[in-house]
Structures are given as structure tokens and as C-alpha cells.
Structure 1
């Protein structure tokens, strides 16, 4: 894994080979050989399509492999922090929850459409309980989980408001546990988190905030937010029960009242953020040859900010002089943001009684083999995330007998090692066939911006305009397949394979056209010109709304085609 995530070379020889990866390359070569031997019987157009599909599929397989390696490495960061977490330290996991759609107890169908969601931010903090005297077993640590919900109305989800939310959360945690001193933060790669201004803010005010931030780690996509998602689901269920009692939730104040109803949610603190600022503070310049999106782990100290592309591997130092220069205009607190008081949740017994079942509670992770007799043991295991994969060393006598019987019947070797050592001659032969990967092959690679050709733009714009006039908008999936079969007057392909687009690219292009159309319509309406519309700041949210609308239209078109086919 160090070889896959390290950019710097080394002098020693690497004699270990990953057998599954080696088989993937062998399968790829076999497919290429089969296609080459049969290309004489295939038409040119079909040959181009096959080559294009194989190339795209191969790139996706390699990207999935690299993503899996990065996920395992980044998840080990959380496990290491929890394993070494002291009683004066806290691990914070942050995430923006999906916007809450306002809802009333009884509403008509017309009231259901055109709603603007309410933004709310979730923070889950894991605090290690002090161990009893004489207890030296670090594997049996107990954690207290605290949640802080910040409700934000009519404000962009930017780094500035995230920094103020962190500051507010630190104060709450300090008031609950005065002995806390240091904090570790973990979040996803959203732009409001993975931003140089936020890192500059945390570094500059590390000694002035209620908690000293020692480290900030970013999880890989689709990973690392399980605890926040779990608490978000609990909050949504609590609000749904509040609505079913005959109440409404249409704004942030009512949302806070719903979450605090019936004594609130255990260890959950709710606060409403009132925002009156229009723009975010800016940095004083940039750091030369520094791309923050290429780094996933950050450590803060007096020497500066240490950055890592992968957890525990390599590392670079951004000097304190550079950090001081760019963060000169940042302020600790913003007077334009006010946080409402958080009501202390009532301490009450669980509303759901525990019953004894003969069945056990298995871990939700499909690769984990652990099972627990009690629900609280499962919850503790999920919060720590220390999973155990299938291993013959932990087999019981029954498991061992099952493996032996299966091996006799199917002649399959289950415990085949993934990595094997090879001799120098075999390694040299494989190096000649370009099977060996280079250093850092699993690191994120910067994608080159490829501009669409004018011919492709005109073609897509014509389809979009035709859909606007007819009311039947084209599906990106249909357009993606249609581009392959378009021919000119001479019977040649209209687009080369390099110009073919995926449905995601086409959907984004249509979304940009919708945004431009809306801006033109707003500029022609004098009543809208009077209001100061910050289109530049709202482009991201508008684009997401447009894309959601396009996806809904795709499903409707597919359903209408199915109904038409059945009736005809």
C-alpha cells in the first residue's frame, strides 16, 4: 500500500506482486489478443465502438481499484486516532446533512412543490471516557458521543460559516467536558471543508479557539460519514413524530423546537445560526505550487502546516511564514453571524425497551465477521469502526470443519495469499511486459480539462432547444447512444470516438444551458432586476436543482415510453 500511495522512489527492489491485480492485467491482455485476432471479420465502425468501450471500462476498473486502496488507507486514520485517543482529546466528524424540506401537518398537493430546503450541519464528537485506575487495556475504551446540529437558513454552505460552526461546537464541547484540550477533525471532500481558507483559519487560531485542532483528515468518497448519517436519521425520525402530532416545520426556529421536543435527543445540542453577511473573507494571496485538493491529511503546529497526500505516507511542510501571510485578514469571530442558545437535552432512559433475542447482532459492514449479543456492543463497534475481516486464524472448530469439507468438495483453496514473493528473473520478465506499476499509482490524478468541440456543442444545443420547444426533453442516456450512430450526408460518422460523451457530461452541459436560460429570463424581467440576486454565489445550488429536475424528466420520459409501447 505504501508503494501505491508514495510518489517518491526508493533504491531497493520490490519483489512482491499482487496476484488479483496481476490477473486483471492478464485478462486485459487476453481480451486485446482476442479482439486483434478477430478484427478482420469486424466492420470499422463496430471495431471503433469495441475499442472505445474496452478503453473506458478498463479505466473505470483501475479507478475503482485505486479508490479501494485509498479508502482502506484513509479509514485506518480514524482507527488509529480512536485507538490512541486520550481523555483530554476529541474526534470530531462533520458533515452537511441533506437539506430538510419544510413540511406541515396537512398540506395540499400544490403546496408540496417549489419548496426551498433548510440547511443543517451535523457534528458528531467522540470523547474517550477516563479509564479506571489499574485498567491498562486500551482495546476496551468507552466513548461518549455528542452531536451538535446547527440550522442555517438562506446562506451558502461555504468555508466561512463552517469555520464559525466549528468554533461554536468547540465551545459546547468545552462546556460539557472542561478537561478537553485537543481536537481531531474528519470530514468529506466537499468544497466548504477542503478549502485553503478553512485550513488557514484553523492554523491561525489554533491557540485561541476553545480546542486546539491538531489534525484534519479527509475521508475518501462514499466513506467515513456513517456516524453523522446515523444521527441525521435519528433527527429526521424525531421531527417526523413531531409533525404527526399536529405541528408544522417550515423554518429554522420550528425545526429547533421539533428537535428539542419531548426532552430532545440524547446528547444532541441544537442551535440556529442567523446570518447577515453577504461575502466570505478572502485570503491574502496564494501559496506557490500548492494544490490543496491533492492533499488529504493536514497537521497543525508552530512550524506550519504539514500536508500529506495519503495518511502516514510522505508529507510536506507549508512554512509558518506562508500560512501567516495568507491568513492575515481572517478574523476569529464574525459579528454578522449569531448562534442561538442550545438547550441541554434531558437525561432520560431509552424509550425502547431491550428484549432478549436468541439471535445475535451482526456488524453492518459486509466484510466484517463480528457478531454481538447486545445492541449497545454493536453500536460501540460501529462508532469505533474497528472491523475484522474473514481470517482462518479466528475460526472455531465448526468453521474449520466447514472449510475442510468445502475444500474436499469443490477443490478450492480459500486462504490464497493476495501478495506473493517472486524471484528476480520472474520479476524482470514481468517488468519487461509493463505489468509492474509505478510509484503512487493509486494517488488521485488531476484530470485534464477537455473542451467540447464546436461541432459537439452545436449538436447538443440543437437537441436542447428542440426539447424546450416541443416540451419533450431528450434523455442524456439516449443522446449519449445517439452520438455514436450519427452520420453525415456521405455515410461517415459525424463524431469520432474521442468526441463521444457520457451521460454525465451531457447532463452537466444541459444543466449549464438551463442556468444560462434562467439568467436571460431574469434579466428581461424588470421586477427581478430591482432585487439584488447573487447569481454567482447560487450557481452551484441552482445547477443541482436543475440536474435534479433533468433526472426527474428522464424517469418520466422512460415511463411514458413504456406505457406507449404497452398500449400500442
Structure 2
């Protein structure tokens, strides 16, 4: 019994915290000054590469692209809430605190350039490990100084609450990308994602950029914050930092800035690498405040009162009606309802059922005659098709041995292709930015020399599966420490030809099985 009561108490406290945070967020938006801005941050679910014509072999083994959404909410000159959304797209990135700090600093730099009036910012995110960490809190003071925009507060939302702004913009951009693929486009890298989101008129209020995290600039690797998991709200000031365990409860615990600096070293500029800069937007998006949430107990009473009022209205309409049922007003619809409210729902949804009120003997005769005529027509057409197929077989005799498999000539690829693939693999091993087989196959098709001529001819192009198999062989040799210069030189035509011939045989075998 005590366990059940404790669970009920925990649920009530969770509901009250959520209500307090929602009310605080709405009060913040209502009382937002022209020089203030609220930034809601969230990592979107990774986007898998999408092709307009995708084979089953292209679907498996895919690696998703990470993208981070920052919704900046502010008030315009007319006092109306507007938003501008900054989307950062990445190829391969570790979703840690330094990535969040790099993105946040880049967003504030762009806000400072595009909206010089903004001087204060409020942050909001969920409790993911990349956000809820003392490493990020240590870097916030330096970000404020470098961007000249003071981060005044950082609030963390409850689970499944407070990120509706990010979720809505993510849904809009995902829909845009699905439309782009359905219309014949392919999304195989973050640049294609950016082109898909910006296709047509783009997404209202959204700016998109392709970026890379400069991990060489990371300087903070540990901190001495205590009780990080119990902190849900932070207020940053010039001389101190105030922390709370729950939003709007108590005065919080003050930590002098001198002690905060002793907890870890300072983080200098993150220097996020932007490969494709943000686009210009035509218009900013509008933000509509949700209705204020009522007390849970009162809301349950209101639901019961509304249900009781609906039942009373139905009974009144039933008593006032001359008949005991309500018929649909749509001509030809045979639906009938006992309550007027259900009839209204039926009319609003428009799910009408059309049936003949009565069917005469003459109608039955016509329907049966129509079925007989259709049956005769189908049998005649089938007979004509059989006759045509027999005539074709007699005219064109099939040669014996037509189903025997023909031998396929092994194509030897040039040394330039092998050297180019080995160069791409070596770059991925040394820098950590590995190139996917699909990107490598695309580079072989599009690479040009210093004079602008194509480096490879069409007969030298490789499939994605061929590049993947060759990369896997190089990775195996690298793990066994056998990928020395001598091994690289000995990767001759016979090695590559053996791999490619086995792949081609498997593909031919799969095509034969699929056709049969």
C-alpha cells in the first residue's frame, strides 16, 4: 500500500513539475523583450540515405546522417512571436557536448550578424547526455563572451515535453525530403539533404548548412561539478551561477564564478567548419502560443461535465424529435443514429453508405444479363490470347540451349582505378573521415584532372558493391598489419579481378533467382 501511495505521489510531482515548466515557458514567451530570444535545441533522428530507385542491396548497411535543429524564437517590431530555425547537417559526427557547444556558438554568431538587437538568450533542451553535462556548462561563459550575446538561463524539459517546436520543424523538413525523393531525386550525403530541404520554396523560416566538428579545438575533457543529475535549471550571471533542482521552487544554490572557473579549464573558440553556408530565408515563421493547461483535477471534472452536457443535449433532441432515430441528410445515404451527436460526427467525416431503397424484378433481370455478357466477353478475350500465343510459338521456334548460362569475360581494371581507391581508403584511415562506397563510386565517375578532363572512362566505372568489397579487403589487410607499401604495390589485377568476378557472379545468380 505504501509503495502504491509513493508511486501516486511521484506521478503527481512529475505532473506538477511539467505544468510549472510549461507555464514558465509560456510566461517567458509572453514577456519576451525585443532584445531577448529563446533557443530550443534537439538532435533529430538520423536520416538514412534515400534513392528514388533503390535496390534491396542499397538499403542494408546504410549509415545515417546526423542533423541538429535550433529553433530561435523572438518578437518582431509588432510584438508578434516569430522564429528562425538553424539546421546543421553532418556526415559522421559524435553527438557529444563539444558538438553541441560548437553548434550553439555558430548559431549565436549568425544571430548576432542577422539580428544585432538580440543581446540575451534563454536555452532549452532535453536531458540527453550531450546537453545535461557540466562540460557544456563550463563552456557557456566563454561562448557568451565571444559572441557578445549573454546566455542568461538554461532550462531542461521533462521527458516527452517541451520540444514541440523542434519536432514540428523536423517533420516539415522530413516531408520536404520525402517529396524530393518521390519526384526523382536522390539523397546520398548531407549536401543532397540540404538541396532537398531547400528545393522549391524551401521550408518557412528554416536555414540549412552543412558542417563539420573541429575536434582539434576541444580543450575541456573533465570537470568537478557535483550532483549534475539533480540539476534541472541554471541561471548564469556575470559573478555567479545559480542552480535549481526544480523549476520555480526556492531561490536556488549560488556558486561564485571564481569557483566555477576552478572546476575546469577554459574552452576557447570551437571554430565549427561550415562547408555549405546557411541560405537566406524569404520570411520568418510564426509561433502560436498553446492554450494554458488547466489543473488535472479540474480538467477531469470538465471532461465529465462536457460528456454529461452532450448526453443531455442528445436526450433533448431525441425527445423533441418526432421519430426515435436520426437519418442522414445526404441523398442516398441509409445511415441512421440514435443520438444526434453521432449523426453530426457522421456528417463531418462524410462516410456515407449508399444503397437502393428497393430493387424491382426488372432490375434483377438487367443485372443478371449484364453478368452473363461480361462472362462471355472475358472468355472470348482469353481464347484470343491463347490463339495468338500459339501462333507466335509456331512462327518463332526457340533454339535449343537457350537457358544455358553464357560465360562472362573477366574485365581487368586499370591500375589508376586501384590506386585511386587505395588513396581514398588511406585518407579515411589517417584522418578518421571515412568515405562510403557510394561516395567513392560517385567520385570515380566525377573526378577530373587539373585540365578539367575526366580521370576515368565509362568502362572503368565501378558499382557500389564492388567498391565496398574492395574496401573490406583493404580493411582486413590493415587490421592484420599487412597493408604495407609492398602489399599496396602487390594489389595487382588478379586480386581485384577475383573480387569483382565473384561479385558479378553473385549478382547474376540473384537476378536469375528473382526472375524465376
TM category (shorter chain) comes to 0.5 to 0.7
SS at match of 1:207: helix
**Among residues 190, 196, 199, which one is paired with 1:261 in the alignment?**
199
Aligned to 1:146: 84
Partner of 1:194: 132
- Report if the CA contact (8 A) 2:19-2:293 is conserved: no
> Residue in 2 aligned with 1:343?
279
60, 66, 74: which one aligns with 1:113? 60
Of 20, 33, 50, which residue of structure 2 is paired with 1:86?
33
| TM superposition shift of 1:296 | 0.7
1:209 counterpart residue number: 147
- Corresponding position: 1:239 with 2:239: no
Alignment partner of 2:74: what SS?
A: strand
Residue 470 of structure 1: aligned partner: none
Matches within 5 A, 1:289-328: 290-314=226-250, 315-328=252-265
Q: 1:99 aligns with which of 23, 33, 46?
A: 46
**SS of residue matched to 2:151:** strand
Greater relative contact order structure (CA < 8 Å, 6+ sep): 1
Contact 2:96 2:129 in 1 (8 A): yes
The structure with the largest alpha-carbon Rg is 2
Q: Does the Cα contact within 8 Å between 1:206 and 1:212 map onto a contact in 2?
A: yes
What displacement does 1:60 show? 5.0
Provide closer, same or farther for how the CA distance between residues 399 and 117 of structure 1 changes in structure 2, counting only shifts above 3 A: closer
**Residue 77 of structure 1, aligned match among 5, 24, 30:** 24
Q: 1:100 to 1:400 in 2, by over 3 A?
A: closer
Q: Secondary structure at the match of 2:122?
A: strand
**Partner secondary structure for residue 380 of structure 1:** coil
Where structure 2 has 5 or more consecutive residues not aligned to the other structure, the ranges are: 314-474, 483-516
Count of aligned positions: 317
Deviation at 1:129, TM superposition (A): 2.1
Taking a change above 3 Å as real, the CA distance of residues 526 and 188 of structure 1, as seen in their structure-2 partners, is same
Q: Distance in 2 between matches of 1:306 and 1:317?
A: 4
| C-alpha separation in 2, matches of 1:59 and 1:111 | 51
How far did residue 326 of structure 1 move? Answer: 3.2
What CA distance in whole angstroms lies between the structure 2 residues aligned with 1:226 and 1:267? 16
Secondary structure (helix, strand or coil) at the match of 2:196 reads helix
User: How big is the shift at 1:222?
Assistant: 1.0
Q: Is the 8 A contact 1:126 1:146 kept in 2?
A: yes
Matches within 5 A, 1:412-431: none
CA pair 89-285 structure 1, distance change in 2 beyond 3 A: closer
Residue 117 and residue 255 in structure 1: after superposition, are their counterparts in 2 closer, same or farther (change >3 A)?
same
Q: Distance in 1 between matches of 2:84 and 2:158?
A: 24
Match of 1:127 among 74, 93, 110: 74
Q: CA RMSD in A?
A: 3.4
> Aligned in 2, Cα 1:176/1:66: closer, same or farther, shift over 3 Å?
same
Deviation sequence 1:132-153 (CA, Å, 0-9, x none): xxxxxxxxx5201111100122
Instruction: Provide TM-score, normalisation by structure 1.
Output: 0.51
2:289 to 381, 386, 410: 381
In 2 relative to 1, CA 179–309 (structure 1 residues): closer, same or farther, beyond 3 Å?
same
1:248·1:254 contact (CA, 8 Å) conserved in 2?
yes
Change (3 A) 1:530 1:67: farther
8 Å Cα contact 2:97-2:135 kept in structure 1: yes
Does structure 1 residue 282 correspond to structure 2 residue 229?
no
For residues 336-367 of structure 1, the C-alpha deviation after alignment (integer angstroms, 9 at most, x for no partner) is x445311112359x9xxxxxxxxxxxxxxxxx
CA distance in 2, matches of 1:62, 1:111: 51
In 2, the alpha carbon distance for the partners of 1:293 and 1:529 equals 43
Which residue is 2:271 aligned to? Answer: 334
Q: Give the aligned partner of residue 100 of structure 2.
A: 162
CA distance in structure 2 between the aligned counterparts of 1:173 and 1:530, rounded to whole angstroms:
49
What whole-Å deviation, never above 9, does each CA across 1:29-72 have from its counterpart, x for those lacking one?
Answer: 7xxxxxxxxxxxxxxxxxxxxxxxxx5x7665544333222212
Judging changes above 3 Å, is the alpha-carbon distance between structure 1 residues 205 and 174 closer, same or farther for their aligned structure 2 residues? closer
1:299 is paired with a residue of what secondary structure?
A: strand
Task: Write the mapping of 1:388-537 to structure 2, written as runs, cut at 5 A.
Answer: 402=309, 527-528=478-479
TM-score, with structure 2 as normaliser? 0.56
- Report deviation, 1:228: 0.5
Deviations 1:190-241 (A, max 9, x none): 1111111111111233232242111000001111011100000000000111
1:530 deviates by 5.7
Distance 1:181 1:245, change over 3 A: same
